[in-house]
Amino acid sequence: MSVFEISILVSAVLMILAGCFCIARSHHLLRILIGIEIAMKAVTLLIIFAGYVNGNDAQAEAYAVTAICLEVVMMVTAAGIAINLYRTYGSMDIRNLKKLKG
């Protein structure tokens, strides 16, 4: 493997690690969303890299664009939930989600 390929793979793995660390260590909903976003970026990078390696750029690009769109839908919905959580409980602590009913 070349230095270039190793750097992309290592970067993607480290981004997933940072995202998982953020998700695991925080109870703040927006911080958890940031962690998910970071991990999703790493996955998108890996999809593009897979296309670059096997020469099928267009297919990888189609998957990456789909992943980006799904990421945005997820973020918008989660941000709406976060805002409603704050309006209901006055904090972004996800432990308050256990109290939600209905």
Partner 1 sequence: MTSQMIICIVCLAVILVCVAAAVMMRSTFKSAIALAVASALLGVVMYLLGSKWAALFEISVCSGFVTVIFISAVTMTSESREEQDEIYGQEEHTKLLPVLMIVAGIAIIAVVLLSKFRLPYPAPAPVRNDFAREFWTGHKDLLLALLTALLAGTFAVVVLFKEEENKK
Q: Min. distance of Cβ 88 from partner 1 in angstroms?
A: 9
Q: Which of 87, 98, 99, 101 binds partner 1 (CB under 8 A)?
A: 87
97 touching partner 1, by CB under 8 A? no
Spatial separation of the C-alpha atoms in residues 92 and 97, rounded to whole Å: 9
Q: Which of 1, 98, 99, 101 binds partner 1 (CB under 8 A)?
A: 1
* Interface of this chain with partner 1, residues 30 to 59, rule: CB under 8 A: 30-31, 33-35, 37-38, 41, 44-45, 48-49, 51-59
Q: Min. distance of Cβ 98 from partner 1 in angstroms?
A: 15
Q: Which of 32, 36, 65, 97 binds partner 1 (CB under 8 A)?
A: 65
Contacts 24+ apart (CB under 8 A), 40-44: 40/67, 40/71, 41/15, 42/11, 42/12, 42/13, 42/15, 42/16, 43/12, 43/16, 43/67, 44/68, 44/71
